[in-house]
Amino acid sequence: MDLHLLIDNLTNPALLFFFLGIIAVQLKSDLEIPPNSAKFISLYLMFSIGFKGGLELSHSNLDLEILWSLLFGVFLALFVPVYTYFILRRRFSVENSGAIAAAYGSVSAVTFVTAVSFLEIEQINFGGHMVAVMALMEAPSIIIGVLLMAYFQKENKNKIKLGSVLHHSLTNGSVLLIMGSLVIGFLASDEQARGIEPFTTDIFKGFLAVFLLDMGITSGKKLGDFLKKGWFAFFFAIIIPLINGCTVAMVSSVFTDSIGNRFLFAILAASASYIAVPAAMRLAAPKANPSLYLPMALAITFPFNITLGMPLYLFLIQAF
């Protein structure tokens, strides 16, 4: 691997703020981002990346590559939770296995946003339709996770209302905002988009840095308790994303030659949801333990992907 990729990533100010958050927790500092501010920043990031993606999509030709990309994204969201569920069942209950499988089949919008920032630093272009791919991958894995729980624990079948879960996953704030922003960006003219460019583009990296600081604080608080639960979950949270990311980095070359698109596919396959899925699982699987699947996605997989994962996936794509 070209070490400059790794060094550039590890010295990215946004990522360093993430580490600062973890250090602050270990030092028992009272540093924190007010919850309302953190929520606003997360909404801003979804809005900005969705709008810019829609704008890029409006400049793209709707060809077979875009269609195959959308279909491939949905396939990943359906396939990953199925195969991971049976691995997880070796150690965890039906509810916990279904919730974790749904989380790893779904995607992390924040990881995607960080990956976009990484591509911009490396000056690598990507298609705006990748934002649509990300948005489409949120809900299917949640539905598959719920169906797996319903099938393998039939006594709870009547208690799980698939329609409610489907509605909740599709109307989840992050999903709705990024899809809505994508459509608005697609419809906006270039002149109209330039009018809000200072908000959507110029301050983006600053907000991302503050948000990752908050993510570091949250991860640092959850990491200690999680490690007490055993090593199986820890290794799963690293090995499965690594397998998914590396495999998709190679396979995606079948329908796209774009390095940026292949990289984002790898990141989407390797990431795990810690926003949409936990919100949906509160409704669908109240017996699933959030102190298990939430730290796996947030405190282990997320840091791994944004530190070592991104340079590794990009290296594989560029080398092969």
What tens digit of pLDDT does each residue of 231-287 get?
A: 899 999 999 999 999 999 999 999 899 999 999 999 999 999 887 787 677 767 778
Asked whether the beta carbons of 66 and 127 are under 8 A apart, the reply is yes
Q: Please give the pLDDT value at position 236.
A: 96
The answer to whether residue 28 sits within a structural domain is no
**Mean predicted confidence (pLDDT) in 131-146:** 83
How confident is residue 314, by pLDDT bands cut at 50, 70 and 90?
very high
The answer to whether residue 116 sits within a structural domain is yes
**Mean predicted confidence (pLDDT) in 177-189:** 84
Task: Name which of 4-8, 87-91, 97-101, 233-237 the model is least confident about.
Answer: 4-8
**Mean predicted confidence (pLDDT) in 60-87:** 91
Helix (H, G, I), strand (E, B) or coil at 149: helix
Q: Which amino acid is at 37?
A: S
The answer to whether residue 218 sits within a structural domain is yes
Percent of the chain, pLDDT > 70? 89
Q: What is the CATH number of the domain that holds 225?
A: 1.20.1530.20
The answer to whether residue 198 sits within a structural domain is yes
Choose among 17, 11, 162: nearest CA to 98: 162
* Alpha-carbon torsion (167, 265, 19, 234), positive or negative: positive
Tally of CA atoms within 13 A in the half-sphere of 260 that contains its CB: 16
Task: Work out the mean pLDDT of the chain and round it to a whole number.
Answer: 84
Question: Can you spell out the DSSP letters for 74-138?
Answer: HHHHHHHHHHHHHHHTTTS-HHHHHHHHHHHHS--HHHHHHHHHHHHHTT----THHHHHHHHTH
**Widest CA span in the chain:** 57
Question: pTM score, two decimals?
Answer: 0.78
How confident is residue 172, by pLDDT bands cut at 50, 70 and 90?
low
Asked whether the beta carbons of 95 and 287 are under 8 A apart, the reply is yes
**Mean predicted confidence (pLDDT) in 110-130:** 88
How confident is residue 205, by pLDDT bands cut at 50, 70 and 90?
confident
Asked whether the beta carbons of 102 and 146 are under 8 A apart, the reply is yes
Q: Please give the pLDDT value at position 271.
A: 95
Q: Which amino acid is at 301?
A: T
Give CA–CA dist 284/172, Å, rounded. 14
How confident is residue 73, by pLDDT bands cut at 50, 70 and 90?
very high
Asked whether the beta carbons of 115 and 208 are under 8 A apart, the reply is no
How confident is residue 56, by pLDDT bands cut at 50, 70 and 90?
confident
Give CA–CA dist 5/262, Å, rounded. 17
The answer to whether residue 276 sits within a structural domain is yes
Question: Domain residues for 148?
Answer: 3-23+35-319
The answer to whether residue 272 sits within a structural domain is yes
Question: Tokens in use for 159?
Answer: 């208690």
Q: Which amino acid is at 114?
A: T
Residue 156 has pLDDT above 60, yes or no: no
Q: Please give the pLDDT value at position 124.
A: 93
How confident is residue 9, by pLDDT bands cut at 50, 70 and 90?
low
Per-residue model confidence as pLDDT tens digits over 16-36: 888 899 899 889 999 988 988
How confident is residue 117, by pLDDT bands cut at 50, 70 and 90?
confident
Question: Tokens in use for 68?
Answer: 């195959």
Q: Please give the pLDDT value at position 161.
A: 64
Residue 2 has pLDDT above 60, yes or no: no
How confident is residue 165, by pLDDT bands cut at 50, 70 and 90?
low
Q: Please give the pLDDT value at position 6.
A: 66
The answer to whether residue 216 sits within a structural domain is yes
The answer to whether residue 29 sits within a structural domain is no
As for how many domains the chain has, the answer is 1
**Mean predicted confidence (pLDDT) in 43-54:** 81
Asked whether the beta carbons of 76 and 140 are under 8 A apart, the reply is no
How confident is residue 219, by pLDDT bands cut at 50, 70 and 90?
confident
Q: Which amino acid is at 11?
A: T
Q: What is the DSSP letter of 60?
A: S
How deeply is 90 buried, as exposed, middle or buried, from its count of CB atoms within 10 A (0-12, 13-18, 19+)?
exposed
Contacts of 311 (CB under 8 A, 6+ apart): 1, 5, 6, 8, 9
Q: How many helices (H) and strands (E) does the chain have?
A: 19, 0
Contacts of 53 (CB under 8 A, 6+ apart): 128, 129, 130, 131, 132, 181, 182, 185
Q: How many residues does the chain have?
A: 320
Q: What is the DSSP letter of 188?
A: S
